[in-house]
Amino acid sequence: MLTHPTAEKLHALKLTGMAKALDEQQTMADIDELDFEARFGLLVDRELTERENRRLGTRLKKARLRHACCIEDLDFRTPRGLDKALILSLAACAWVAKGINILITGPTGVGKSYLACALGHKACLEGHSVLYRRLPRLFEEFRLAKADGSYGKLMTTYAGTSLLVLDDWGLTPPSDSQRRDLLELLEDRHGLRSTIVTSQLPVNLWHDYLGDPTLADAILDRLVHNAYKINLKGDSMRKKAADVDQIVHFE
Residue 133 lies in a domain: yes
Q: By residue range, what is the domain housing residue 28?
A: 3-62
On whether residue 37 sits in a domain, the answer given is: yes
Is the pLDDT higher at 202 or at 246? 202
Q: Which of 11, 27, 62 is the last residue of a domain?
A: 62
Residue 169's contacts (CB-CB under 8 Å, 6 or more residues apart) are: 135, 197, 198, 199, 201, 206
- Same domain? For 39 and 110 the reply is no
Q: Is residue 9 part of a domain?
A: yes
Residues 77 and 25 in one domain: no
Q: Which of 114-128, 150-164, 179-193, 224-238 has the lowest mean pLDDT?
A: 224-238
Q: What is the full DSSP assignment across 178-245?
A: HHHHHHHHHHHHTTTSEEEEEESS-GGGHHHHH--HHHHHHHHHHHTTTEEEEE--SS-HHHHHHHHH
State the Cα torsion 90-93-97-98 to the nearest 10°.
-10
Number of domains in the chain: 2
Q: How many CA atoms lie within 13 A of 113 on its CB side?
A: 20
Residue 249 included in any domain:
no
Same domain membership, residue 186 and residue 220: yes
Mean pLDDT (whole number) for 130-154: 96
Query: Which range, 16-20, 24-28, 63-67, has the best average confidence (pLDDT)?
Result: 63-67
**pLDDT bucket at 238, cuts 50 / 70 / 90:** low
| 56 lies in the same domain as 78 | no
Same domain, 8 and 52: yes
Task: Please check whether residue 248 lies inside any domain of the structure.
Answer: no
Same domain, 49 and 104: no
How many angstroms separate the CA atoms of 248 and 231, rounded?
31
Query: Do 21 and 70 share a structural domain?
Result: no
From 62, 80, 96, the end of a domain falls on 62
Confidence (pLDDT) at 239? 59
The verdict on 147 and 180 lying in the same domain is yes
Q: Please check whether residue 250 lies inside any domain of the structure.
A: no
| 91 shares its domain with 43 | no
3-class DSSP state of 160: helix
The answer to whether residue 247 sits within a structural domain is: no
| Residue range 116-142: mean pLDDT, rounded | 96
Task: Check residue 246 and give its pLDDT.
Answer: 43
For the segment 58-79, what is each residue's pLDDT rounded down to a tens digit?
Answer: 888 998 999 989 999 998 888 8
pLDDT at 85 over 70: yes
Q: pLDDT category, 103, cuts 50, 70, 90?
A: very high
155 & 129 share domain: yes
18 found inside a domain: yes
Query: Mean pLDDT over all residues of the chain?
Result: 87
Considering the entire predicted model, what is its pTM? 0.79
What's the CATH code of the domain at 206? 3.40.50.300
Based on the fold, state whether residues 108 and 42 are members of the same structural domain. no
Neighbour count for residue 7 (Cβ, 10 Å): 19
DSSP string computed for 18-48: HHHHHHHHTT-TTGGGS-HHHHHHHHHHHHH
Distance CA 227, CA 95 (A): 9
Residue that finishes a domain, picked among 42, 62, 82: 62
Same domain (yes/no): 71, 56:
no
Are the C-beta atoms of 155 and 184 separated by less than 8 Å? yes
CB 66 within 8 A of CB 113: yes
